Amino acid sequence: MIFFAGIADALAPNAAHAALGAAIACALAWRRGAPTWLRRMRPLLALVTAWIWLVASPQFVNRALAATEHPRDDPANCRIDGGAAPLFVVLGSGELWNPDGTPRARLDLEGIRRVRHAAALWRRHGGALLMAGGPGTGDADSLAGTMAAFAAELGVPRDALRLAGGSQDTREDVAAAAGAVRAHAGPAVLVTGALHLPRALAVAARQGLTLVPCASDWLQIPGLAVNPATVLPHSASTARSYLLLREWLATLAYRLRGWT
């Protein structure tokens, strides 16, 4: 279905609504008899419309994801050579705070995927899982504690779980885990989403850490067909375009601050 995936998507605000709204505003500005103030806004409206249509296009978003995410064909991805037991550093993803400012450690879908992937890796290779994420440092007030509890439900024994809490962003997550990584005799494996992995690896390198990259999941869709449904704005792009733009902005901010 062009523009929307279904009736619910057509009713709920999303990227397709924004693209269609911008196109209508642009068309009104170019119509004969448009007010002077609206005609003066034509260049701005054209730029805004073009940008919104791009970020709402599944094809554009998918290609941008493919260019931004850790490569699918990287032979080093999750490669763990035999020998000493690995340490899997799992970066958290989720909510840290309630609207009133009190701590709230709750995993989002990305965080759940990371833990599931790390648990599967532990079943295959053994070793230990180091969960990194704040804002607190305990079992109940940190993403680290929440991830550890979830990993235990997946069958990872408690003595194979470690916590690195007290952090609120990727740089702090890596810093919280750095001591355990340096003390570990075997390979240290960085587990996070493919979109987040390049920035996380750059942060680790900046802090003097060498970690094996291990993407838990990719957002890009391999072999996405080119047709009107994937080129025109679509509601299905809303979530992925948000995650992509957030990662672009975070990458820029980290570079400007000298964290990568």
Q: How far apart are CA 154 and CA 161, in angstroms?
A: 12
**Percent with pLDDT over 90 in the chain:** 70
Closest CA to 28 of 20, 38, 19: 38
Which string of b and e fits 195-214 if b means at least 16 CB within 10 Å?
Answer: bbbbbbbbbbeebebebbbb
- Tell me which residue of 148, 170, 200, 171 sits closest to 93, measured CA to CA: 170
Tokens read off for 30: 């170019």
For 53-112, the pLDDT digits (tens) are: 898 999 999 999 999 999 999 999 999 987 789 999 999 999 888 888 777 789 999 999
Whether 188 contacts 50, CB under 8 Å:
no
* pLDDT band for position 204 (cuts 50, 70, 90): very high
pLDDT at 1: 54
Query: pLDDT by residue (tens digit) across 146-192?
Result: 999 999 999 999 999 999 999 999 999 999 999 999 999 999 999 99
